[in-house]
Structure 1
Amino acid sequence: MRALYEADPLLLEVSFAAGYDGTLAMLKTTYELEGDRLEILLVYRRVEALRAFGRSLLDGANRGTLPNVDVVIRRATTPTIGLKLQKEFPEHGLFTGFITAIDKDDPAEWAYTISYEDGDSETMVLVELEPLLSTHGNALREYAVRELMLGYTYLENRLTGIFGGGTCGILVEGEGLH
């Protein structure tokens, strides 16, 4: 772990965040299935929830919900001119914007000008900007997804009885495991 930290501390932080995000559903399932109820009645629903989470990691548009991984990546992203972001405007929808200017006059709090596709623009400080930064397609996020998929693919293999000669198959939405 020390060698990984010295080589790339952000990779280690993303790995911990992914471990938390990826195992949270499994921990909740384990906790729910302990006790003196008729736990067998809960199994199907909980296992299907785990499978759905695993499938969501492969969803090209969303690539799963990994809130802790996303926070780590957003915090490590340096906003630059041209950086793309998306913001939901109530009653108007989701708009794509780009950082078009950075006002560095106040060293304590830079101001970022965001220009949107409809011609509107606004100015934000970093704390307002960070939640809007897209993490999808980020190499560290893709690493976290690939690593998490190993466990969820294993689960799918065990449930379906499909094994690829010692290697994990790939789960394809609507087609099962390949």
Structure 2
Amino acid sequence: MLAIYKKDPLRLQVSFVAGLDGVMSLLKTTYELEDDRSEILLAFQRVESLRAYGRQLRVDTENRGLLPNVDAALRRALEPEIGLKLVKEFPGHGTFFGHIVEVDKEDPEHFMYKVTYGDGDSETIMDLEEIRPFLSVHGDELCEFAVKGLLGAYTYLEKRLTGECESSYV
């Protein structure tokens, strides 16, 4: 782990937070099903919830936001620059995709970022911490790494449930 940390500390951090994001629902379900409440309905609901989560992870357009800790780690590591994509929700108007078109570095303590959205509107965001939550990390190589790393567990679960899994236990 030390070698990985020295080579690429962000990759190690993303690995840890991906585990936190993707494995917690598996652990929670396991503990619930081992509890004294062994109602079949609870088991069915929890397993179906896990299956749905796994299906969302597999589909590129549906897995955005499923790994909030991974997204946050990647956003913290990004330096906003011209061309970087954003996704921002405007209450009552919807979600808009935009990109940074200008960075004003006149004040070294507070850069200003001009963002243009797909509908032609634009705004100036005054601070790095104000813009960071909207930075799009979807498609980032480390984001893809985290998703692929988690898919194995959900693929295994799906195969076990559908009888496609070869097991050495009989």
TM-score by length of 2: 0.89
Q: Secondary structure at the match of 1:33?
A: helix
Aligned equivalent of 1:152 = 154
User: 1:116-136: per-residue Cα shift (whole Å, max 9, x none)?
Assistant: 233322111111211111121
Confirm or deny: 8 A CA contact 1:86 1:132 kept in the other structure: yes
Higher relative contact order (CA 8 A, sep 6+): 2
Hey, what's the Cα distance between the residues in 1 that align with 2:104 and 2:128?
12
Aligned equivalent of 1:134 = 136
Paired AA for residue 6 in structure 2: E
1:2 paired with 2:39, answer no
Structure 1 residues 100-111: aligned runs within 5 Å: 100-111=101-112
Confirm or deny: 8 A CA contact 1:62 1:136 kept in the other structure: no
Hey, what's the Cα distance between the residues in 1 that align with 2:166 and 2:133?
40
Gaps of 5+ in 2: none
Query: Quick one: structure 1 residues 110 and 164, their matched pair in 2 at CA, closer, same or farther if it must change by over 3 Å?
Result: farther
The two structures, once aligned, show a CA RMSD in angstroms of 1.9
1:114 paired with 2:108, answer no
Hey, what's the Cα distance between the residues in 2 that align with 1:47 and 1:118?
41
Hey, what's the Cα distance between the residues in 2 that align with 1:136 and 1:15?
16
Query: Quick one: structure 1 residues 24 and 96, their matched pair in 2 at CA, closer, same or farther if it must change by over 3 Å?
Result: same
**Percent identity of equivalent pairs:** 56
Question: CA shift at 1:103, angstroms?
Answer: 1.4
The runs of at least 4 aligned residues of structure 1 exceeding 3 Å deviation read 38-41, 163-166
Question: CA shift at 1:32, angstroms?
Answer: 2.2
TM-score by length of 1: 0.85
- Give the aligned length: 166
Aligned equivalent of 1:84 = 85
